[in-house]
Amino acid sequence: MYRLFLSLRFLRKRRINLLSVICIALGVMVLIIVYSVLEGFQDQLKSSLRKTTPHVQVGALSPVRDTQDYVDAVRKVPGVVGVSRRIETLALIAWQNPNGAKSTISNRAGKHGIYAYAIDPAAEQGVTSLEQMLSNVGEEAKKRGLQVADPKNPFHVPDDVSDGRMPRPAIIVGEELANYLNLQPGAEITLFSVRLNPDAGPDEPSFTSSNRVFYLVGVFKSGMYEQNLFSVYIPYSAGQEIMESSGYSTEKIAIGTDDFDGVQETKARIDVALREAGIVGHRITTWQESNRTILSALVVEKRVLTLLMFFLVLMACGTILAILYMMVLEKRRDIGIMKAIGAPMRGILQLFLLNGAVIGLLGASIGVGLGLLFLYKINTIEAFLSDVFGVKVFAPEIYVFDKMPVVYDPTAIATMAIATVVFSLFAAFVPAYIAARADAVRSLRNE
């Protein structure tokens, strides 16, 4: 009991111990924030990809006339819950709002084109979360009348659109693209698609172009900034026309599975099924392979930054060693008196280990509390800092997502806190051992 009493007394008398507590608290706080935000990025990316990206895609290595054989073969594979034919292409767009405002866009900042996805909404069920993306638009889009009227039938065009005019198929654009171009409901959007012409002669153009006018029926919101800015959806039949795909088709087979993380096994089964159906010359790609670069970058970034922040905590624990060593030097007389009246070596050792444990426990507890509070208010803090400094701290166009994602992992947070206390004990062991080995007579004589 006397060990705990003296330990707390030593800590109260020396305010410099507060420095160790503050250093450890800040180190633990930063470690929790970095880990939780990076884990949030990884989790949010997977969640967004689950909604917007087919789990598996099958494409022919050379043009084929009909992909229905692919669809029939894939549907029979165990674990497949949805199969959809889709056409993907890069395109340029020109637009004109009902009020007459018009413009043309080929890319943003001269770097990227617009991706047009020709899909069948009914077949997309079980492949992507199209209905959810159509329903999950922002309040601003709803006020502007840009929400799709019927997510189950998203490409429905009002009857009066075709009265006295050439029929126009529907188009759905990303919410960020609609904001960027200030599109209004009913805007006329023209898609220009350029395709390679492999059969061109020496005097013929190597590329062919086609265009089609569409009617804007609404927007979608996927949770990924770039997809909201650079993607549009059009009906499958319109996609065939604009890319002149009624003969040879360049479409892909989009597949949804019942195991998002275990798609490699499903991929192997799909490959076997296609070969058994006599279909060869195809390429199968999983969502992990399609997004390998960004997924790998996130994993490496999380490991490196977590390791660096962990070293920061170790450095904070190092202050315990320095401060307790100074305490041992200053308390030589007290240590000598305790030994002279019979305090055992183990008791002295435990006394200073308790000092390290209390500092580590206080620092870790405060750090966990501050870290969780910061994470809870992180988007509010980001908005405040952006307003104060006039610079966007979390730019969606850089970090992909429209808000800063966070994941609370109780196991990881508890592990960090416990590890901090353990390292604090290790840091306290050296000065505690020196104090325990001190000679009582020599300590009193020197004083």
H or E segment and range at residue 70: helix 68-75
100-139 residues labelled b (16+ CB within 10 A) or e (exposed):
eeeeeeeebeeeebbbbbbbbbebbbbbbbbbebbebbbe
Structure tokens, 292: 């390998």
Task: Report how far residue 295's alpha carbon sits from residue 288's, in angstroms, rounded to the nearest whole number.
Answer: 8
Asked if 121 contacts 153 with a C-beta cutoff of 8 angstroms, the reply is: yes
Instruction: Fill in the amino acid letter for 361.
Output: L
Instruction: Fill in the amino acid letter for 267.
Output: K
**Cα–Cα–Cα angle for 40, 44, 46, nearest 5°?**
120
Task: Report how far residue 440's alpha carbon sits from residue 334's, in angstroms, rounded to the nearest whole number.
Answer: 9
What is the torsional sign of CA 411, 413, 414, 419? positive
Asked if 26 contacts 366 with a C-beta cutoff of 8 angstroms, the reply is: no
pTM (two decimals): 0.72
Asked if 102 contacts 190 with a C-beta cutoff of 8 angstroms, the reply is: no
Task: Report how far residue 239's alpha carbon sits from residue 209's, in angstroms, rounded to the nearest whole number.
Answer: 13
Separation of CA 37 from chain center: 9
305-322: pLDDT as tens digits: 878 888 888 887 777 777
What is the torsional sign of CA 46, 47, 53, 54? positive
Residue 215's nearest CA partner among 268, 271, 149, 263 is 149
Q: What burial class does residue 367 get, using C-beta atoms within 10 Å of its C-beta: 0-12 exposed, 13-18 middle, 19+ buried?
A: buried
Helices H, strands E: what count in the chain?
18, 10
The average confidence (pLDDT) of the chain is 78
pLDDT tens string, the chain, 447 residues long: the values are: 555 655 566 566 666 777 788 888 988 998 899 888 888 888 888 888 888 888 999 887 776 666 778 888 888 889 888 899 888 888 888 888 876 655 555 444 333 358 888 898 888 888 888 888 888 887 888 888 888 888 888 888 876 665 455 678 899 999 888 888 888 888 888 887 766 666 666 666 666 667 788 999 999 988 777 888 888 999 988 887 776 644 444 678 899 988 888 888 889 999 988 888 888 888 889 888 888 887 887 788 878 887 888 888 888 777 777 777 776 666 666 666 666 666 667 777 777 778 778 888 888 999 999 999 999 988 888 888 878 777 776 766 556 566 788 888 899 899 889 988 888 888 888 777 777 666 655 655 555
Identify the three-state secondary structure at position 305. helix
Residue 312's nearest CA partner among 32, 38, 18, 17 is 32
Beta-carbon neighbour count of residue 416 at 10 Å? 23
Residue 125's nearest CA partner among 149, 152, 105 is 152
Task: Report how far residue 27's alpha carbon sits from residue 363's, in angstroms, rounded to the nearest whole number.
Answer: 9
Task: Report how far residue 255's alpha carbon sits from residue 73's, in angstroms, rounded to the nearest whole number.
Answer: 12
Q: How far is CA 290 from CA 62, 77, 439, in A?
A: 20, 21, 68
Separation of CA 124 from chain center: 24
Asked if 217 contacts 155 with a C-beta cutoff of 8 angstroms, the reply is: yes
Asked if 54 contacts 129 with a C-beta cutoff of 8 angstroms, the reply is: no
